[in-house]
Amino acid sequence: MGDIDQEKPYVLYRVELRELVAKALRNKGLKNVFTAFNWPLETKVLPAIWITSPADQAKSNGAGPPDFNRTASIVMKVQVSEEVPDAAQKHVDYLIGQIEQTLMTDHDLLAAVSEVEFMQEENRLTADAAPYIAEGRIVIGLAYQETFPLNGTDVIQTFGVTEK
């Protein structure tokens, strides 16, 4: 979990976790789940979920080989559109609940981390007239361990070019 595989180019583990979150939501049948997309979206695309992995904190396990306890923050921005404000609020609340239930019961995601360290949810209504846009934001902290090999990684190899 989180160890560097010398046979493939290094990808930030928080990016891999972001993709696992997206996969879990798509597998549950949620539509318009994006990890690389321009925001804001047009109302015809809503409801939509945009997932980013903007931050990762690492705390050293002490002297010795580079070894860290890390927490990746995965941020999900949810938007829905309805003709009535109350319906928009209920829709975004329902969708946030579905996302939470899906992620907290997804075997692949939970097997990839040592724990779900935190979860924060918030929402708001963002339009003054129909169509009403309700927006939710979910941040989850996914903890994992990462150890780097003492011999390091060849910088040329990291960029996918091998010179002989």
Question: Is there a domain that residue 5 lies in?
Answer: no
Q: Domain tally for the chain?
A: 1
51 within 8 A of 76, measured Cβ to Cβ: yes
DSSP line for 51-73:
EEEEEEEEEE--SSS-EEEEEEE
Q: Measured at the alpha carbon of residue 85, what is the angle toward residues 139 and 126, in degrees to the nearest 5?
A: 50
DSSP line for 80-118:
EEESSHHHHHHHHHHHHHHHHHHHHT-HHHHHTSSEEEE
Q: What is the pLDDT of residues 4-52, one digit of tens each?
A: 455 555 688 999 999 999 999 999 998 899 997 776 677 888 999 999 9
What are the b/e assignments for 63-84, b being 16+ CB within 10 Å? eeeeebbbbbbbbbbbbbbbee
Asked if the model's pLDDT at residue 164 lies above 50, the reply is no
* 143: CATH: 3.30.2000.10
Give the rounded percent of residues in the chain with a pLDDT score beyond 70: 84
List the end-to-end C-alpha distance of the chain, in Å, as a whole number: 31
Query: Which residues, in sequence order, are bridge partners of residue 118?
Result: 141
Asked if the model's pLDDT at residue 69 lies above 80, the reply is yes
Q: What is the pLDDT of residues 86-136, one digit of tens each?
A: 999 999 999 999 999 999 999 999 999 999 999 999 998 877 778 899 999
Q: In angstroms, rounded to a whole number, what is the distance separating the alpha carbons of residues 109 and 20?
A: 6
Question: Is there a domain that residue 3 lies in?
Answer: no
Question: Is there a domain that residue 158 lies in?
Answer: no
Question: Is there a domain that residue 161 lies in?
Answer: no
Which of 30, 147, 152 is CA-nearest to residue 98?
30
82 within 8 A of 132, measured Cβ to Cβ: yes
Residue 70: give the domain boundaries.
13-151
pLDDT, residue 152, reads 61
pTM of the model: 0.82
The residue-averaged pLDDT of 69-98 equals: 94
Q: Is 143 helix (H, G, I), strand (E, B) or coil?
A: strand
The residue-averaged pLDDT of 67-87 equals: 94
